[in-house]
Amino acid sequence: MTVRDIIEPGARLADGQWHRLHPATPVLKGGIALLAIVGVIIVNIRDILIDVVIGGGDVPSDRDPLVWIYEHEFAGLFALALLAGVLLFVGGFYLSWRMHRFRVTDEQVEVQSGILFRTNRRGRLDRIQGINISKPFLARLFGAAKLEVSVAGQNANVQLAYLGSAAADELRREILLRASGTHSAAADAAPSAGGVIGQRVSELLSPELDPDAAPPESVVQMHLGRLIGSLLLSGFTVVLIGGIVALVVVTTTTRQPFFLFGFVPAIIGMGGFYISRFTRSLRYSIASTPDGIRVGFGLLSTSNETLPPGRIHAVKVSQPLLWRPAGWWEVKINRASSSSASGAAGQANTTILPVGNLSDTMKVLELVLPGLVDPAAIEMLERGMLSKGGDDGFTNSPRRARILRWFSWNRNGFAVVPGAVMFRSGAIWRELVVVPQARLQSLGMRQGPLLRRLRLATLSVHTVAGPVVARLGAIDKSEAVDAFGAISAAAVSSAEIDTSHRWRMTLPPAPPQIPVAEQP
Amino acid sequence: MTHRLEIPNIEWRRVSPRYIVVDLVGTLVFGIISCVATSLPALLFGNVLLWAIPASLAVIFIITLALTPRRVRSIGYQLRDDDLLFRRGLMFQRFVAVPYGRMQLVDINRGPLDRAVGLSELKFVTAAASTGVVIPGLTSADAEALRDRLVQLAESRRAGL
């Protein structure tokens, strides 16, 4: 078994052979810690250096261990120990880099790592839920990127950190190609011209989407004003203002300024939240590729994720109250995997559109719900978001449900369209949940004593865990029973014709014609 | 007229009546333990009002015990052509339909009480945690036959996630 190092960009990595990661990996992984240690040592040593070079200067403190060592003539011994330590450190990192290798075969991607405790992790290609290429700022300077293959399950991702930027892009394309069900010939990667520096600069400046694999333009443009506005009008801001008001009241009534100081760390934290949210969303992009949708985020540290078709289990479009005058919406999704890149900027990678107006939202919905090809179904989406309710294709709660849904009873309803189930709710905080029928795991219906008195029931569609919960309460009992039958039949027939786990194997067939639950 | 949920044209398969015993004993043991535990403060402090807690608990448990036979009879399941249908609950009714292709695994559990009367509990797991289909009170032979049948059905209707 031979192991090849990645040196030249564009080398074929998905050839079934073992490969190693980017040579700068140890620096990037342990880099910050190493820099910090070196920094501390340098700061401490500065006085000694001045003393040695210039002479005669008085070494101030004897509490400092380094100074103490110097004064007691242990400098030689110390230097030796330091050298040994550094060698051990570097040797360890080098060894761990040597032992860390991966290969991509037609069936799976496999990673081996560890010096003493070996781990071996394999991910099946046809179970891939998404591929994320993230570039922390430091890694971007080195032209390196982290490739993460998400497989269904919590913490079940195969991570390749770090690869060269070009190599990561190429590997993603290869993996997606294999996962899609075609075994294509190798795509010849054109070697990029220019020196190392020129290449770095062009990588730093280049847009997130690599040009040959995706149409470069995003279907949604993130406007600066809208982004700032959405942050200022978020629920978080409301809480923040409430907190400030409470603080002012407490301080003026008690005349104790100490409370203010207690909140300084909290205020710094909140500032950090806004900044990270802002920088993360600023260069948001979403585009359609043959291998699924590609979502990019990030200004300094970037992340760019490809979600193959059929990996989105539920979609929620929601509108916080304060966004309503501006007509902005947010889109979240449920997916079977969780990427470790999610927590990094305080915003989970399940948010697929941080903020957008109606047309942006519709474009994103068309991307994330490729099964909804019917123009009528797309019209239903819009009605599900905007309609005040009434007889508009959705089966809404009856009038007697207004005890439970004071304002929204006329809007609170469901619709079964070819390929998907839609749940609409909320008159003040408007929300629409769409679950593709082929992704539905099971279907539930329940009724407690209160709902029974009102002849109502709750319908829920069970999907993989995530921020979207598809549950609709207070709908007419007999409507619920009918819908239960219709949706469970639709789920089975949609799952039978669904081929999205091998999306290039066949052309996507038309979604089944499922009759919409009858109106009373 | 009742407004209970009912799915038309379904012949439910019911669980073994022996499960009533298991459920009764389980509830009784739990009830006695919680009543005794909540009585302790009343005994120690001698405050008459504190007896209200164990007394109200006892009433709740007695009602639960009285309804147990009906509640057990309300548990039902049926293997339809393409999905498993499950129901349970009297006051709080719950119905679940799971397409066979969605099955990730089937568990069979036997508690000590279950073993004493020769029963098993079958758990049907999908990728969604909220599915929660647990069929208690199957005879062990039934549970194993049902598991094999479900695995076979799931194999033949295998789908992506």
The rounded percent of chain A whose pLDDT value lies above 90 is: 22
Interface touch B5/A480, C-beta < 8 Å: yes
Best residue in B1, B6, B74, B96 for a mutation probing chain A (most A CBs within 10 Å): B96
Give the pairing of strands A413-417 and B105-109.
unpaired
- Report d(CA B123, CA B147) in Å as an integer: 9
| 8 Å CB contact between A340 and A265 | no
Q: Which residue among B6, B96, B101 places its CB closest to the CB of A495?
A: B101
Q: pLDDT by residue (tens digit) across A380-432?
A: 999 999 988 888 889 999 999 999 999 999 999 999 998 899 999 998 899 99
Q: pLDDT by residue (tens digit) across A318-374?
A: 998 889 999 999 999 988 876 554 443 444 578 888 899 999 999 999 888 888 878
C-alpha radius of gyration, chain B, whole number: 20
Interface touch A484/B101, C-beta < 8 Å: no
Q: What is the pLDDT of residue A433?
A: 95
Which class would CATH give B76-156?
mainly beta
Interface touch A477/B8, C-beta < 8 Å: no
Cα of B56 vs its chain's centroid, Å: 24
CA distances from A177 to A63, A166, A184, A208, A497 (A): 62, 17, 7, 20, 21
**Lowest mean pLDDT, pick from A250-254, A256-260, A304-308, B28-32:** A256-260
Is the pLDDT reported for residue A105 higher than 60? yes
Which residues are B79's β-sheet partners?
A: B84
Number of residues that this document lists for chain B: 161
Minimal C-alpha gap between A170 and chain B (Å): 26
Interface touch A484/B99, C-beta < 8 Å: no
Interface touch B97/A462, C-beta < 8 Å: no
Contacts of A58 (CB under 8 A, 6+ apart): none
DSSP label at residue A435: E
Nearest Cα to Cα of residue A222 among A294, A168, A296: A296
| 8 Å CB contact between A163 and A144 | yes
Q: What is the pLDDT of residue A67?
A: 67
Average pLDDT score over residue span A469-476: 92
Interface touch B94/A310, C-beta < 8 Å: no
Q: pLDDT by residue (tens digit) across A37-91?
A: 777 777 777 766 766 666 555 555 555 666 666 667 777 888 888 889 888 888 8
Q: What is the pLDDT of residue A347?
A: 46
For A456, nearest residue in chain B (alpha carbons): B3
How confident is residue A197, by pLDDT bands cut at 50, 70 and 90?
Answer: low
How confident is residue A187, by pLDDT bands cut at 50, 70 and 90?
Answer: very low
DSSP label at residue A210: -
Q: Which residue among A129, A462, A500 places its CB closest to the CB of B131?
A: A462
CA distances from A144 to A26, A104, B92, B122 (A): 12, 19, 56, 50
What residues does each domain of chain B span? 15-71, 76-156
How confident is residue A169, by pLDDT bands cut at 50, 70 and 90?
Answer: confident
- Quick check: A455 contacting B, CB < 8 Å? yes
Q: What is the pLDDT of residue A458?
A: 95
Question: Which is more confidently placed, A233 or A156?
Answer: A233
- Report d(CA A216, CA A175) in Å as an integer: 20
Is the pLDDT reported for residue A194 higher than 50? no
Q: Which residues of A touch B159 (CB under 8 A)?
A: 438, 495-496, 498
Minimal C-alpha gap between B157 and chain A (Å): 8
- Report d(CA A112, CA A103) in Å as an integer: 9
Query: Cβ atoms within 10 A of the Cβ of A118, count?
Result: 9
Is the pLDDT reported for residue A445 higher than 90? yes
Number of residues that this document lists for chain A: 520
Is the pLDDT reported for residue A112 higher than 50? yes
Contacts of A168 (CB under 8 A, 6+ apart): A133, A145, A146, A147, A160
Q: What is the pLDDT of residue A3?
A: 53
The contact set of B with A (CB < 8 A) is: 2-8, 82-83, 89, 91-99, 101-102, 126-131, 133, 157, 159-161
For B156, nearest residue in chain A (alpha carbons): A496
Q: Which residues of B touch A498 (CB under 8 A)?
A: 159-160
Best residue in B1, B2, B4, B5 for a mutation probing chain A (most A CBs within 10 Å): B5
What residues does each domain of chain A span? 3-185+195-205, 224-282, 312-502
- Quick check: A91 contacting B, CB < 8 Å? no
- Report d(CA A480, CA B97) in Å as an integer: 13
For A459, nearest residue in chain B (alpha carbons): B95
CATH number of A312-502: 2.30.29.30
Q: Which residue among A336, A484, A489 places its CB closest to the CB of B161?
A: A336
Interface touch A444/B8, C-beta < 8 Å: no
Q: What is the pLDDT of residue B154?
A: 87
Q: What is the pLDDT of residue A343?
A: 41
Q: What is the pLDDT of residue B73?
A: 92
Q: Which residues of B touch A446 (CB under 8 A)?
A: 5, 89, 92-95
Q: pLDDT by residue (tens digit) across B34-73?
A: 999 988 888 888 788 888 888 999 999 999 999 999 999 9
Q: Which residues of A touch B89 (CB under 8 A)?
A: 446
Q: What is the pLDDT of residue A511?
A: 44
Task: Please give the full DSSP string across A323-383, using - where no structure is assigned.
Answer: GTTTT-EEEEEEESB--TTSGGGSS-TTEEEEEE-HHHHHHHHHHH-TT---HHHHHHHHH
- Quick check: A497 contacting B, CB < 8 Å? no
Minimal C-alpha gap between B146 and chain A (Å): 19
- Report d(CA B152, CA A101) in Å as an integer: 39
Q: What is the pLDDT of residue A208?
A: 46
- Report d(CA A126, CA A475) in Å as an integer: 39
Q: What is the pLDDT of residue A198?
A: 56
Structure tokens at A257: 């300024």
- Report d(CA A403, CA A411) in Å as an integer: 14
Packed helices A264-282 and A224-232: angle between N→C axes, nearest 10 degrees:
150
Question: Which is more confidently placed, A10 or B126?
Answer: B126
Chains A & B: contacts with CB separation below 8 Å:
109
Angle, CA of A383, A389 and A391, to the nearest 5° = 90
Is the pLDDT reported for residue A207 higher than 70? no
Average per-residue pLDDT for chain A: 79
Nearest Cα to Cα of residue A359 among A220, A197, A251: A220
Q: Which residue among A127, A477, A492 places its CB closest to the CB of B3?
A: A477
DSSP label at residue A478: H
Nearest Cα to Cα of residue A208 among A200, A198, A216: A216
| Environment class of A391 (CB within 10 Å of its CB; exposed 0-12, middle 13-18, buried 19+) | exposed
| Environment class of A506 (CB within 10 Å of its CB; exposed 0-12, middle 13-18, buried 19+) | exposed
Q: Which residue among A129, A336, A492 places its CB closest to the CB of B99?
A: A492
Q: What is the pLDDT of residue A278?
A: 85
Q: pLDDT by residue (tens digit) across B60-70?
A: 999 999 999 99
Q: What is the pLDDT of residue A510?
A: 42
Q: What is the pLDDT of residue A237?
A: 83
Is the pLDDT reported for residue A214 higher than 50? no
Average per-residue pLDDT for chain B: 89
CA distances from A159 to A111, A210, A440, B36, B160 (A): 8, 20, 28, 54, 23
Q: Which residue among A440, A443, A457 places its CB closest to the CB of B96?
A: A443
Strands (E), chain B: 13-14, 76-79, 83-88, 93-99, 105-109, 119-125, 133-139
Interface touch B94/A460, C-beta < 8 Å: no
The rounded percent of chain B whose pLDDT value lies above 70 is: 97
